[in-house]
Amino acid sequence: MCGICGAINLDQKPIDRKILIQMAQTLSHRGPDDTGFLVEKNIGLAQNRLSIIDLSKAGHQPMFYGERTTSSAYDNQNLAIVYNGEIYNYLEIKEELIKKGYKFKSQTDTEVILAAYKEWGIKCQEKFNGMWAFILYDKKNQTIFVSRDRLGVKPLYYLADKKKIIISSEIKAILAYPGVKAKPNERIIWDYLVTGWVDHSAETFFYGIKELRGGHYLIIKNSELRIKKYWDLNQKENDLSETENIQKFRDLFIDSVKLRLRSDVPIGTCLSGGLDSSAIVSQVNLFLKDERLDQVGRWQKTFSAVYGKGYSNCDESQYIREVIKKTGAKPFFVYPEGKHLKQDLKKIIWHQDQPFLSTSIYAQWNVFKLASQKKIKVMLDGQGADELLAGYTGYFGLYFQNLFQKRQIFTFIHELFFFFKKQPQPLKKLQEIFTRGLRAGWLGQKTTKFFQKTNPTYKVFNPDFLERFETSKRFNFSKDSFQNSLYNSLKMNLSSLLHYEDRNSMAFSIESRVPFLDYRLVEFIFSLPANYKIRDGETKWVMRQALKGILPEKIRTRQDKIGFATPEEKWLKNDLKEELKNVFSSKSFAERGFFDQKNTLLLFEKYLKDQFSDGQLFWRLYNLEIWFRVFVD
């Protein structure tokens, strides 16, 4: 895992090496083990390396690759790359290339990417199973080829104007380029404040700086920039039996975890106590019984955020203990506190490059910090399963709606019955489902506008700001409303979670791997009918069936979805109360042009008196103001 950046002067002026050094310094946390530069006329590349596979100097980047001659020697080094990520199936691709006559000087996956490009060109992306972002310079063809993995696990941003193109793993490196100023993007700020969306489009919080989206590549040739999509989900037919589908899920999950154990450094696992992280920890434990995979260490180390007694709404200690009891893993715990959040917030926002949506990010920050203190360089995490398998409570409402629309009345009644039978607090959940459905626009744009005019939440915004933009359109993937919602969740909600995951882990020079986002597993899950995701009052039905014998039964059958929760309300009303009041009362907050300062303070007082419940609204307002102070002011 690394930090990469590059600059191309379209006016053909030489690249200043000092500028590359300046950009790379902002990414030093992503790769503290080595730094390398390439400057060739108007093109410059830089990389900070976090050594994970082949720790020797042979893994130094930029890495170069030459022509294969008839004598099987390599010269005329026409290819150069800076790369961030892991190609998990690099050994299989390497074996295929060796059979074609290719030779390799290192044990890295980086060299495999170069050889794969030499053999297959841009179609090499289709061969890779992993997470990546790379900038490849093809000197012979005078082409820059920039690629990002299918689901966007690893980040990549760019700024393009008539004179230059700047590319980087993180936006702060682009801002380090002379003359580039941090100009706020009001469209994205509006989405963040009003709809609670981030990372849902190619636009960022910084006007003019864009994200290369997952499944896309970028070509720079003859001073022109072209972006193309090379991968997306499609609606494949699934003709397997129920038994075959359950077994295929199990096989793909196991193989995905196995591939992500390829490492030359110690591996740890995040453990929240939920189905997803528990499944990974349990499967890793089974692999540890195989001596051939013992490179991850004799004892598996797990890292968890817990809060103790009195925090039942966010503490999952009892489930964590179940996993530890079953696996014998060595657990490590961290206890995040609100009083420390204020001290760490500016640093976290600097690493994130943007404001974030909830304090759960701070809990994750502390987990990776603890893992770093224990000398762990690679962590496995359960990100993505909820978005793929309808793991959130709100999906019940979408599923019920879908059944009703399709006039599957018997199934609708059946599922509603089991929902009341199995789900904790079903009436409260139904109310939440209905309310969220309205706000998400189930009744159309008019409903959204109605909420903006009548809901007290919106009184904190200046009327002219509130009316400035319309809610961004969602992706139209399928005529099936349930499947369409899952697709949007994967493309929008998951993008923000992956953003947080990457920045929090890399802040502590840790590579985070997400087995549920193996593209083979993702494509397979999307081929399954809706009743494989929700059935008999349970979410993630196929996963629960497939992981029998792997997961502890108490976890496999649990229905109380907590998520990676924190005692956010207590923190806001106690530890951060005075801080938020000071920020909301500040001159800078009032002059942003987004907020009605008087109404914000009045509504916050109501929140403190339990007369208003939307605490995340105040968290967003507070976060945005701190972001302005870190990057813009």
Q: What positions carry a catalytic annotation?
A: 2
Strand boundaries in 525-615, DSSP class E:
534-535, 538-539
The two structure tokens encoding residue 363: 């809990």
CB of 12 closer than 8 Å to CB of 54: no
Task: State how far the Cα of 53 lies from the Cα of 50, in Å rounded to an integer.
Answer: 9
Could you write out the DSSP letters of every residue in 334-349? E---HHHHHHHHHHHH
List Cβ neighbours of 609 (8 Å cut-off, separation of 6 or more).
Answer: none
Closest of 107, 117, 123 to residue 68, by C-alpha: 117
Task: State how far the Cα of 170 lies from the Cα of 445, in Å rounded to an integer.
Answer: 35
Closest of 336, 289, 245, 291 to residue 531, by C-alpha: 245
Q: Measure the CA angle with vertex 595, ends 589 and 601; round to 5°.
A: 75
Start-to-end CA span in the chain (Å): 32
328 class by beta-carbon count within 10 Å (0-12 exposed, 13-18 middle, 19+ buried): exposed
Residue 295 identity (one-letter amino acid): Q
3-state secondary structure at position 456 = helix
CB of 125 closer than 8 Å to CB of 147: yes
CB of 5 closer than 8 Å to CB of 159: no
Residue 234 identity (one-letter amino acid): N
Report the helix count and the strand count for the chain, using DSSP H and E.
26, 19
Task: State how far the Cα of 526 lies from the Cα of 388, in Å rounded to an integer.
Answer: 8
Task: Answer whether the bond into residue 62 is a cis peptide, omega within 30°.
Answer: yes
Cα separations in angstroms, 536 against 127, 374, 400, 419, 433: 38, 42, 12, 7, 18
CB atoms within 10 A of CB 300: 23
CB of 46 closer than 8 Å to CB of 176: no
Radius of gyration of the chain (CA): 25
Question: In sequence order, what are the beta bridge partners of 305?
Answer: 334
Q: Can you say whether residue 612 is alpha, beta or left, with left for phi > 0 and alpha for psi between -120 and 50 degrees?
A: beta
List Cβ neighbours of 98 (8 Å cut-off, separation of 6 or more).
Answer: 104
Q: Which helix (H) or strand (E) holds 321?
A: helix 317-327
3-state secondary structure at position 61 = coil
CB of 351 closer than 8 Å to CB of 307: no
Task: State how far the Cα of 517 lies from the Cα of 571, in Å rounded to an integer.
Answer: 32
CB of 195 closer than 8 Å to CB of 184: no
The two structure tokens encoding residue 537: 């009052």
Strand boundaries in 222-317, DSSP class E:
224-229, 267-270, 301-305
Task: State how far the Cα of 178 lies from the Cα of 159, in Å rounded to an integer.
Answer: 13
CB atoms within 10 A of CB 339: 10
